Amino acid sequence: MNDKPAGWYYVGDGTLRYRDDYGWTEYYMDTKDPRAQDWPPPKPKTLLQQLREDEAARSVSVGHRGRVSTIFGRRRTRH
């Protein structure tokens, strides 16, 4: 059994490492990372979900801008 609760721990050299209920994970974070400024930082699963949501929002806005520019960006020619 682990004697420490799940969460981020300072492991030296300006690095945080995430420990879950089973032990140390492969998730690391630099202490200079803006997400580390709000203590405690979100769990890795939360960080990954936020990243996916941000990417989805970006892809929707890029696709939307592309459609708008093709609709309004065409030049009409007179015959």
Is residue 47 located within the same domain as residue 36? Answer: no
In this predicted structure, what is the pLDDT of residue 69? 46
Q: Cβ distance 27 to 20 under 8 Å?
A: no
- Tally the domains of the chain: 2
Same domain, 31 and 61: no
**Total H helices, total E strands in the chain:** 1, 3
Residues 36 and 58 in one domain: no
Same domain, 4 and 30: yes
Q: What's the pTM value of the predicted model, to 2 decimals?
A: 0.63
Residues 2 and 14 in one domain: yes
pLDDT of residue 24: 96
Would the pLDDT of 79 be above 60?
A: no
Q: How far apart are CA 40 and CA 64, in angstroms?
A: 36
Asked if 47 and 79 sit in the same domain, the reply is yes
- Can you give the residue range of the structural domain that contains 64? 42-79
Q: Which tens digit of pLDDT belongs to each residue from 29-71?
A: 999 999 898 888 989 999 999 999 999 999 887 765 555 444 4
